[in-house]
Every structure is written in C-alpha cells, then in structure tokens.
Amino acid sequence: MNLEKVIFAFTIILALTLNFGFFVGDIENPAHHHVFELYAAIFVNAVATILKFGDRSHIGAVLLATSLVAMIQLVAASGVWAYAVHISMTGLNPAAMSSIVSLAGGALIANTVSVTLLVIETVMLRR
C-alpha cells in the first residue's frame, strides 16, 4: 500500500465530507451551519489543492481544477459570512445565509466531481 496515495485520497474524501456536513440543514438557518465547519472545509480543501499540484497527468489537471473551483466557492462563502457579520448592518440574515450555503453547495459539487474522478482513476489502474 502506498501511504502517499492513502493520504491523498483521505484528504480529498475528508474535504467532501466536511463540505457536505456544512451544507446539510435548513438553508436559511444559521444554527444548522457552523462557521468552524466552514473554516475546516476551507482548510482541508486547501491541503487537498496543494497535494494535487504534484500530479502531472491530464486527470491530475482536472482534479486540480475541481479543487480550485471548490476553494473559490468556499472562500467566497466565508467572505459573504464575514461581510454579513462584521460589515453589514443587517447581520447574518436568511438571505446572507442562503448565499453562503449556496456557495458551499457549489463547492460540494466540485468536491463530488473530484472524488468521482479519484474513484474512476483508481478503478482504471492496472497492476
């Protein structure tokens, strides 16, 4: 067993599950979406993105692209959250929370594509 591949797959799958954990819940209810889970998803997605830089294959380029899309979506979600809490006069209202969760949903789709490609690549490997 290759420890590097285990860590790579673990990180990609952890990024997906953290993102899913943040996404699930009532879209407008801030009590269903914890800010620290969003930041954990951002951190693990950043680690996954860094790990994907080493792969020089075509599928590696697509994996990197999906990871970059997820990062952009999650950073935008945290930006909306920070704006709503610290700058906006209305605070974290249902409209802002809907935008945050929708952006995290976009990242969830990108992470799902990434895990699907990882599974496809693993199935196609021949010994």
Q: What pLDDT shows up at residue 127?
A: 60
Q: DSSP letters of 34-102?
A: -HHHHHHHHHHHHHHHHHHTT--SHHHHHHHHHHHHHHHHHHHHHHHHHIIIII-SS-S-HHHHHHHHH
> Residues 6 or more apart from 108 whose CB is under 8 A from it?
16, 19, 20, 23
Average pLDDT of the chain is 93
Indicate the domain borders of the chain: 3-124
What is the average pLDDT across 103-119?
Answer: 96
What is the rounded end-to-end Cα distance, in angstroms, of the chain? 13
pLDDT level of residue 56 (50, 70, 90 thresholds): confident
Contact in structure between 81 and 93 (CB atoms under 8 Å): no
Q: Which two tokens stand for residue 46?
A: 């950043």
For 58-103, the pLDDT digits (tens) are: 888 999 999 999 999 999 999 999 999 999 999 999 999 999 999 9
Q: What confidence score (pLDDT) does residue 44 get?
A: 97
pTM of the predicted protein model: 0.91
Residue whose entry in the numeric block shows the structure tokens 């995290």: 104
